[in-house]
Amino acid sequence: MLTPENGWRQVDFHGNAREWFGIWIINVCAMVLTLGIYSAWAKVRFKKYFYQNTYLAGRNFDYHANPVSILKARAIVVVAIAITIPLRLWFIPVLAFAILFPAALVLSARFNARNSSWANVRFNFDGRIRRAYFVYLLLPFLSIFTFGLAYPFVQRATHEFVAESHRLGNKRFVFEANAWPYYRAYLIAIGMGALGAFAMGIVAGGLVMIAASSGSLLSGQLANLDAFATIVGGYVGMGLGYAALSVCLRNVLFNNLELVSPGRVHRFRSTAKIWPTIWLLSSGLIAVVFSLGLLLPWARIRYYRYMAAHTFVRVDGDLDDIEGDLQGDQNALGDAYGDVEGFDLGLGI
């Protein structure tokens, strides 16, 4: 049992949907009125709200980034991309992404870590760019020659790189796991995806048979309906597989993660379940669609609260020995590139 009596502390999230909706709607309106310029401030407000309402051992996290730095970096990235489009040099951003994204990942992680804190102690990220190129470019390329069978090893290498490059004050994160949990995660995801696609195929096939027996549809219309059902089944399968994979990989990461210093080891544990997570994601998606996006804050808060409630830290002694130096606001260029390209890197809840 993960209880305080045997040293386990649950992560607590104190945010609520009504409060976050007020912040979110202001952010959306401000971004529309400023043609996206306010997005840098919106990002900082988003992170601040979720960080400041997340508590471990009675002390909360915080986010300290300067939105002006983020805005300047985003402007550089967006202008650089925009210049190439009218010149029909679309291959330049693609090539730049392929070449620079490992470096951008490191810069993004460094920026976010050094602007994040727990109990006024800053995080840090000291991963080397050279190592990032090995993990994010060379290993995936080599896995092609195994027809993807070696990709779980790649996923393990990325987890190890991300985890062991992070620091909290004077403490180092350590990650130890073999490849089997990653193969198991991908096998579960494939099985869930196949199950979802098969179940959806049965439902869709039944509907097609009903429509065909009624004689109300022409053969061409039946073929289109069958193709549409196949596509929907494929998307459902991919959605279930992705949700299952994300839960499994999260559990593998946290369950093999430690925060260590001389004489003390603080251990992490994630107990998130696949089917409850799928229910949260699917019901949240349906609610967001039918509310035309207005229930997005509610769906996000609900999902974040579930993940926080299933995240634990086993404290060895106490956490008062964590010390750290104040980190200045770092260069946000990598973080901005990450926003444009849509990826993120970090040890989030």
pLDDT band at 325 (very low <50, low <70, confident <90, very high): low
Ramachandran sector of residue 169 (left: φ over 0; alpha: ψ -120 to 50; beta: rest): left
Report if residue 103 sits inside a domain.
yes
* pLDDT of amino acid 205: 67
Contacts of 180 (CB under 8 A, 6+ apart): none
- 28-57 average pLDDT score: 93
104 against 251, higher pLDDT: 251
Report if residue 146 sits inside a domain.
yes
Q: Cα angle at 346 between 193 and 306, to 5 degrees?
A: 60
With tokens 């601040």, the residue in question is 48
- Quick one: 22 and 115 in the same domain? yes
Paired residues of 220 in beta bridges: none
- Quick one: 25 and 121 in the same domain? yes
Tell me which H or E stretch contains 127: none
* pLDDT of amino acid 230: 72
* pLDDT of amino acid 54: 96
Using an 8 Å Cβ cutoff, are 254 and 311 in contact? yes
Pairing state of beta strands 121-125 and 264-270? unpaired
- Quick one: 149 and 93 in the same domain? no
Contacts of 146 (CB under 8 A, 6+ apart): none
Tell me which H or E stretch contains 22: helix 17-33
pLDDT band at 328 (very low <50, low <70, confident <90, very high): low
162 burial (CB, 10 Å; 0-12 / 13-18 / 19+) is buried
Determine phi and psi for 116, rounding to 5 degrees.
Answer: -120, 150
- Quick one: 112 and 134 in the same domain? no
Report if residue 233 sits inside a domain.
no
Say whether pLDDT at 265 is over 50.
yes
Q: What is the mean pLDDT of the chain?
A: 83
- Quick one: 64 and 22 in the same domain? yes
Determine phi and psi for 134, rounding to 5 degrees.
Answer: -65, -45
Straight-line distance from the first to the last Cα atom of the chain, in angstroms, rounded to the nearest whole number = 21
- Quick one: 49 and 79 in the same domain? yes
**Residue 146 structural domain:** 128-164
Query: With pLDDT > 90 as the criterion, what percentage of the chain qualifies?
Result: 51
Report if residue 68 sits inside a domain.
yes
Q: Could you give the residue ranges of the DSSP H alpha helices within the chain?
A: 17-33, 39-52, 67-84, 91-114, 129-133, 139-143, 151-164, 180-214, 219-255, 274-290, 296-309, 333-341
Identify the CA nearest to 27 among candidates 52, 44, 51, 50: 44
Query: With pLDDT > 70 as the criterion, what percentage of the chain qualifies?
Result: 77
- Number of structural domains in the chain: 2
* pLDDT of amino acid 340: 42
Residue ending a domain, among 164, 191, 219, is 164
In whole angstroms, what is the distance from residue 240 CA to residue 277 CA? 10
328 against 48, higher pLDDT: 48
Q: Find the range with the poorest average confidence among 8-17, 75-84, 329-338.
A: 329-338
- Quick one: 71 and 156 in the same domain? no
Contacts of 307 (CB under 8 A, 6+ apart): 250, 272, 349
- 304-324 average pLDDT score: 82
**C-alpha count within 13 angstroms, C-beta hemisphere, residue 273:** 5
Determine phi and psi for 259, rounding to 5 degrees.
Answer: -115, 115
- Quick one: 69 and 149 in the same domain? no
8 against 73, higher pLDDT: 8
Give the tens place of pLDDT for each residue, 178-200.
Answer: 999 999 999 999 999 888 887 77
Give the tens place of pLDDT for each residue, 196-224.
Answer: 887 777 776 676 666 666 655 555 555 56
Report if residue 206 sits inside a domain.
no
With tokens 């429509």, the residue in question is 211
Report if residue 107 sits inside a domain.
yes
Give the tens place of pLDDT for each residue, 139-163.
Answer: 998 888 988 899 999 999 999 999 9
Say whether pLDDT at 127 is over 70.
yes
* pLDDT of amino acid 38: 93
Paired residues of 56 in beta bridges: 59
- Quick one: 91 and 148 in the same domain? no
Using an 8 Å Cβ cutoff, are 118 and 169 in contact? no
- 226-235 average pLDDT score: 73
pLDDT band at 342 (very low <50, low <70, confident <90, very high): very low
Identify the CA nearest to 327 among candidates 116, 44, 162: 116
Angle between helix axes 274-290 and 296-309 (nearest 10 degrees) is: 170
- Quick one: 104 and 158 in the same domain? no
Task: Give the pair of three-digit tokens for residue 339.
Answer: 């926003």
- Quick one: 69 and 148 in the same domain? no
Ramachandran sector of residue 36 (left: φ over 0; alpha: ψ -120 to 50; beta: rest): left
Report if residue 82 sits inside a domain.
yes
Report if residue 256 sits inside a domain.
no
* pLDDT of amino acid 99: 77
Residue ending a domain, among 110, 143, 164, is 164
* pLDDT of amino acid 341: 40
With tokens 């696609």, the residue in question is 197
In whole angstroms, what is the distance from residue 206 CA to residue 204 CA? 5
67 three-class SS: helix
- Quick one: 29 and 58 in the same domain? yes
